[in-house]
Amino acid sequence: MKLKTFQCPATHYLVQFKYSVLRFFLEQYYWVKALTLFVTHYPPLCELERAYPAHVSNYHMAFLLNEPDIAADTDDGEVQPEFITFLYQLTEGAAGRSYGLNVARLADIPDPILHTAARKARELESMVNARRKNKKLLSDLWSVSDRSSLVEWLQSNS
């Protein structure tokens, strides 16, 4: 089988595609029991470990995250990318987030590009976190079934 590469219009579609491919192999070829390494930096794909605990395990390369003040914003408002040291040790569990900017630093991408990317990454992360919070609030509100629960929900979320 020849695997073709293609450019997806958005990360969302790429995640859906990879998720579908993994689920296909897990559901159709589980009996093969071949060790397969699937490398990704998309956290939603790590959730397959919960759905298929007998067949999927998450691992990441260990790293050290330097002190927070190194990754802080500078006085001129420029966002500094976090700085990590890769330990080249395979560790059980999914990484908490992607550290692609550090890989870019290792590839000698110029600092102005790294700073712009770090600023954009923080903006997008803030936007995603706000959406997650709103989604959870809406989900919690949807489960309210009576007046006293509504009053309790309003007090806890104001």
Mean pLDDT over residues 11-27, rounded? 83
Residue 71 scores a pLDDT above 60: no
The single residue listed with the structure tokens 């590009």 is: 113
Backbone angles phi, psi at 89, to 5 degrees: -135, 125
Q: What is the pLDDT of residue 85?
A: 86
Residue 28 pLDDT more than 80?
yes
- pLDDT above 70 as % of the chain: 84
- 15 within 8 A of 40, measured Cβ to Cβ: no
- The DSSP secondary structure of 110-141, one letter per residue, reads -HHHHHHHHHHHHHHHHHHHHHHHHHHHHHHH
- State how far the Cα of 158 lies from the Cα of 149, in Å rounded to an integer: 14
Q: How many separate helices (H) and strands (E) can be counted in the chain?
A: 6, 2
pLDDT the model gives residue 2: 46
| Residue 95 contacts residue 86 (beta carbons within 8 Å) | no
Q: What is the pLDDT of residues 119-154, one digit of tens each?
A: 888 888 888 888 888 888 888 888 888 888 888 878
Q: Cβ distance 114 to 101 under 8 Å?
A: yes
* pLDDT surpassing 50 at residue 5: no
Residue 15's pLDDT band (cuts 50, 70, 90): confident
pLDDT in tens, 80-129: 667 888 888 999 998 877 778 888 888 899 989 988 988 888 888 888 88
Among 36, 56, 34, smallest CA distance to 47 is for 56
pLDDT for the residue 83: 80
* Confidence band for 10, pLDDT divided at 50, 70 and 90: low
How many CB atoms neighbour CB 83 within 10 A?
15
Mean pLDDT over the full length of the chain: 79
pLDDT of residue 110: 92
